[in-house]
Chains A and B, each alone.
Chain A
Amino acid sequence: MAKLAPLGAVPLGDCAVYVEFSKTLDLEVNSAVQRLATMLHGRALPWIRDVVPALGGLAIHFDPDHPALSGDALTAALNTVSDCLKEGLPKPGDVLRTVEVPVCYESEFAPDLAEVAALAKVAPEEAVQLHSTSDYRVLMIGFAPGHAYMGGLSPKLAVPRRAAPRAIVPAGSVAIANDQTVVYPYAISGGWSIIGRTPLAVFDAERQEPSLFAAGDRVRVKPISRAEFQKLVGK
């Protein structure tokens, strides 16, 4: 790909900056943004509070009055980004993590599967097959802790968002909309079509690594039965 260069830097108030690389979703740029974020995290600069990779760029949240800073934080943040880019980003293969997610597609966990299959003009079994054999990438984490937006859904399953969002979607619900799939970390409201459920805790604040997913992860689905689901619940 072409050399990664920021389109610009937009101050997010006086304690953060958004460094933008693309205004549209470009998977190569997205992957580079994740690796840049990994690199920035690795620098562990005391005045940087958070590095948040998103779809087309990343935010650096900083303490503008940190004693370790000599000049202004915004300039320092942008200098750090250009240093990283000059040094060269890690290769995708060096930082790629693969997360396997067991998903049960049985009807009690998949209220919208029949509708999705009808819209896609395939049998429900084929819809499950399409969903469970795709190779996903986490494009961004947002909306709720651990809530991963994953790209790579089969175009055949690209259904629009539901007209009326559900007030409560059960935790672990696996849902799709447009060209993406998500797993709801908590019982929250949501407007995507639910086609399965994972027994895993997507976000557990008590766990060493609270979030099951990180931006940039490769995600594989493993279809499981009801019995396997019950065995894995809460693990």
Chain B
Amino acid sequence: MSIQVVRPGLLMTVQDIGRHGHQHVGLCPGGAMDPLALTLANALVGNEHGAAALELTVLGPDLLFERDSLVALVGAEFEADMPINRPVLVARGSRVSISRAARGARGYLAVAGGIAVEEVLGSRSTYLPGGFGGLDGRVLKRGDLLPLAPESAKLSRERFAALKHKDKRGSSVRWSVPPLTVPDREPIVLHAIEGEHFGDFDANMQRVFFDTVWRVTPDSNRMGYRLGGPPLTRSKTDEILSGPTCLGSVQVPANGVPIALMADHQTTGGYPRIAEIASADVPRLAQIAPGGTVHFARTTLDMAAELRKDTRTRMETMLRGIAWEYGK
């Protein structure tokens, strides 16, 4: 028994928190582009935070639930025929239709017990460039059947029964979680520290980098976001020795179009890195769809730590609130 994909939407994959410990053989951790939204979606259905869920991109799917399922859709503000940002008990045989994201770019649909695809190298995440993980290592398509945990229907009913404050229809609750990462307005501000090669760009180029409102281009994907704006030119012309990169590194290839490295990024690169985005801001960037705009603000490691702490505090408050609603 499973979830059937009736209409796949734009780019739907199975994702969890990814696979760490393989970057030395060239494999990035991958996983959810917005791990904060994934964590919330899992908490709302009573899962542990790293359980596998469906990652939706900009345009959502139609799904047929073959058994009672406690689900939650968190992240981008998707228009759907079910309430979002809260636990919902979907009855066996029901179809859920999710259309476009009015705000944000990525949503996570978690199901009680998680999506039960096989683990590959310790994770159920789909790694598209390598063609493994998730369901056959690929984007989900019409007719796919997503396996659920063996006891998922029972788990779903039991967990839903434990929830306080049910709504009138008895299939959801009277509260919701606020989106942590979806922007109210654009451009969003991305805090960034100077990258290794920041000094290779002259004062004017450095100013351009921080003054420009960058537009996320349509060829952006899970590997990287290309940022359209004035081309950035490096003053130095010497070759750069290929070195390691990181989630959130902003590299500038010869064409001058900066690329912010996202979940499925390459582990090394030979392009100059002008900046490194604070880790707390990367999930917020993941919520910007092509056409959306971002702005960089110069920051320090101390400030990046503060941003992480703020995010963690807000997340912990929400998780405590959800646990309380479950009577824990």
The minimal Cβ–Cβ distance linking A213 to chain B, given in whole angstroms, is 8
Q: A54 and B129: CB pair below 8 A? A: no
Q: A147 and B26: CB pair below 8 A? A: yes
The interface centre, meaning the residue of A10, A20, A142, A186 with most chain B CB atoms within 10 A of its CB, is: A142
- Residues of chain A contacted by B121 (CB below 8 angstroms): 205, 210
Size of the B side of the interface (Cβ < 8 Å), in residues, is 42
Is B327 positioned at the interface, with any CB of A under 8 Å from its CB?
no
Which residue of B has the minimal Cβ distance to A22? B241
Cα distance A160–B297 when bound, in Å? Answer: 40
Q: A143 and B24: CB pair below 8 A? A: no
- Residues of chain B contacted by A140 (CB below 8 angstroms): 242, 268
Interface string of A18-60 (1 = CB under 8 A from B): 1010111100000000000100010000000111111111110
Interface string of A119-152 (1 = CB under 8 A from B): 0000000000000000000001111111101000
Cα distance A56–B243 when bound, in Å? Answer: 7
Is A211 positioned at the interface, with any CB of B under 8 Å from its CB?
yes
* With A56-B241, A145-B130, A205-B121: A12-B249 Cβ-Cβ less than 8 Å: yes
The minimal Cβ–Cβ distance linking B278 to chain A, given in whole angstroms, is 6
* With A13-B193, A186-B129, A186-B131: A210-B243 Cβ-Cβ less than 8 Å: no
Q: B246 and A61: CB pair below 8 A? A: yes
Is B171 positioned at the interface, with any CB of A under 8 Å from its CB?
no
Q: A144 and B266: CB pair below 8 A? A: yes
Q: A51 and B24: CB pair below 8 A? A: yes
Is B256 positioned at the interface, with any CB of A under 8 Å from its CB?
no
Q: B26 and A141: CB pair below 8 A? A: yes
Instruction: Indicate which residue in B130, B196, B241 contacts A55 across the interface (CB closer than 8 Å).
Output: B241
Which of A's residues lie within 8 Å of B, judged by CB? 10-16, 18, 20, 22-25, 37, 41, 49-59, 61, 64-65, 72, 74, 140-147, 149, 186, 188, 203, 205-206, 210-211, 213-215
